[in-house]
Amino acid sequence: MSSNWIEACAADAIEQEDVIRFDHGGRTFAIYRSAEDDYFATDGLCTHEQVHLADGLVMDDIIECPMHNGRFNYRTGEAKGAPVCVNLQTYPVKVEAGKVLVQLD
Amino acid sequence: MPGGMAIVGAGQCGARAALTLREHGYDGSVTLIGDELHLPYERPPLSKDVMVSEAEPVPRFVADRQVFADRSIQYLTGTRAIAIDPAARSIRLTDDRTLPYDKLLLATGAAPRRLPLPAADGSRCAYLRTYDDALRIRGAIGAGAHVAILGGGFIGLELAASVRKRGARVTVIETLPRILTRGVPEEIARIIDARHRSEGVDLACGKAVAALRDAAGGVEVVLTDGSVIIADLLLISIGAVPVAGLAEEAGLAIENGIAVDAHLRTSDPDIYAAGDCCSFPLAIYGGRRVRLECWRNAQDQGTLAARNMLGAGESASSVPWLWTDQYELRLQIAGLPDEGKRLVRRDLQDGAFILFHLADDGRLVAASGLGTGNAVAKDVRVAEMLIARRAKPDPAALARPETKLKSLLAA
């Protein structure tokens, strides 16, 4: 496993229970902040049709695709039913000195 | 002999219903009957991506062949149901087969409204509904062509944007005084109108087609003001009509399509209908009967009908929701704007904004958001939840961008 932690954003750049887009190395990711101030990261595009999840709504542990309402648990990446059936890739996240760091392998 | 589940119509709605039956553990036979030769596919890209993609387009399938095979869903292509025998609980198919059913779902969709002129059936006129229609149109809208589009609704205008992207000249003819009269606030229609004109689209509103004639290498469109447009192709996008003939001949109740109750059941308790082909009562609008022609409704009702065929007994409760993409602009509408009496505007970043439609009693009944890409998506989604809760949010809070809409959900 690599120890390649990438700085994604400032911790306070994301509102509580919300998500932002983070592009790195030609790929796009979604970085989440839960209502309890825990941080998470997943691939940025919905697995149903290439739509940026960061434009979707976060409610509790769920990110919902803005176009077709595909729902995923952003903590685990689990797809929650039609139209999405493929889980999202998740990535380890830590917060250090007010920065959100993501481990992209 | 148990008949299993039969689904007539293999679009988004019918295919979703078939898959849902299996997701809920139904283990009897499931037969999905489609009149096209493709696997079930999604229609929204037909007027957009399929028209403009540089690569050879491919349909966006609801699920691939293996998924249907793995779930033992019998998918009949190129097949139509030609009669229902409700007493015997069977349907007759075009291949002369008789298929028994325990429950039947009609997901027959809608068909383009035809222009009642003989020349409209000519080779220089086209309607868009199927993937094959889209491929044919795609082949005729290259640079240098002049394409006339009859109808300034969602499909006509999406086609106009696609045709411009391909480099052809476009004239849009709309009978009413402005585009998008059905369900789109004038404030938003004006912006979309201006956006089309800035792309060089010739928008002729308040004019109808008086006559159509074949012309040398094209079609001659004579308008009611006497002007004549000569185009290589006339795209006729004047709305859609529900496909309800099969239901009507079987004696099912018809009212703006196949009439169903809140559980999507027709006047025959063993027959359901869902998607574009049916009208249903919406409880959040006092039981107002509506028929919706959009992706979300097809998806939601396909799911709901399948659950109810298995005895769930659930009512349709989704808030109507649709989107349209033209150029970089995306319009999303949640709810039924014509239920509103006053508008409250909320400005977002980069020129995006949302109009909230409030009823006389202050209830939020719809939200129309316009912006680039998904700029309005989160807020329209929250609005949808507020509409579902029949909320009466403070208009000042709606208008103030600093107020998080989500905070209004807690109220």
What would the CATH number be for the domain defined by A5-103? 2.102.10.10
Q: For residue B113, give every residue at least 6 positions away whose Cβ sits within 8 Å of its Cβ, in sequence order, or none.
A: B238, B239, B240, B241
The ipTM (two decimal places) reads 0.87
CATH superfamily of B5-110+241-309: FAD/NAD(P)-binding domain (3.50.50.60)
Domain limits, chain A: 5-103
User: Using the beta-carbon criterion (under 8 Å), do A68 and B295 form an inter-chain contact?
Assistant: yes
Q: What are the start-end ranges of the H helices in B53-143?
A: 65-70, 131-138
Asked whether the bond before B281 is cis by omega within 30 degrees of 0, the reply is no
- Res A2: pLDDT: 55
Q: Which CATH number is B114-238 given?
A: 3.50.50.60
Predicted local distance difference test score (pLDDT) of residue B1:
47
Task: Take residue B215 and report the two structure tokens written for it.
Answer: 């012309």
Is A82 at the interface with chain B, CB within 8 A? yes
Chain A interface, best mutation among B380, B381, B403, by max A CB count within 10 A:
B381
Nearest chain B Cα to A49, which residue? B60
Q: What is the dihedral of CA B368, B370, B374, B376, to 10 degrees?
A: -50
Looking at this protein, which amino acid is placed at residue B399? A
Q: Which own/partner contact pairs does A19-22 have at CB distance under 8 Å and 24+ positions apart?
A: A19/A53, A19/A54, A19/A56, A19/A58, A19/A63, A19/A74, A20/A54, A21/A52, A21/A54, A21/A55, A22/A102
User: Between chains, do B19 and A68 touch, taking CB under 8 Å as contact?
Assistant: no
Q: Which of A47-51, B64-68, B132-136, B398-402 has the lowest mean pLDDT?
A: A47-51
From chain A, the residues in CB contact with B23 under 8 A are: 81-82
pLDDT tens figures, B12-45: 999 999 999 999 999 999 999 999 999 999 999 9
Contact A66 B374 (CB under 8 A): yes
What fold does the segment set B328-409 form as a domain?
Answer: Enolase-like; domain 1 (3.30.390)
Find the closest chain B residue to A50 by CA distance. Answer: B60
Q: What is the DSSP letter of A60?
A: T
pLDDT, one tens digit per residue, over B373-407 is 899 999 999 999 999 999 999 999 999 999 999 99
The pLDDT value given to residue A83: 79
* Residue from the list B303, B323, B373 with its beta carbon closest to the beta carbon of A82: B303
pLDDT band at B122 (very low <50, low <70, confident <90, very high): confident
**Distance between CA atoms of B192 and B331, rounded to whole angstroms?**
9
Range(s) for CATH 3.50.50.60 in chain B? 5-110+241-309, 114-238
Q: What's the token pair of residue B204?
A: 């002729």
Cross-chain CB nearest to B377 (options A49, A56, A81):
A56
Average per-residue pLDDT for chain B: 96
pLDDT by residue (tens digit) across B58-86?
999 999 999 999 999 999 999 999 999 99
User: Using CA atoms in the order A54, B199, B112, B267, what is the torsion angle rounded to 10 degrees?
Assistant: 40
Chain B 55-84, CB below 8 Å of chain A: which residues? 60, 62
Torsion sign across C-alpha atoms B193, B197, B203, B206: positive
Where does CATH 3.30.390.30 sit in chain B? 328-409
* Contact check, Cβ <8 Å, A56/B323: no
* Out of A49, A55, A82, closest to residue B19 by CB: A82
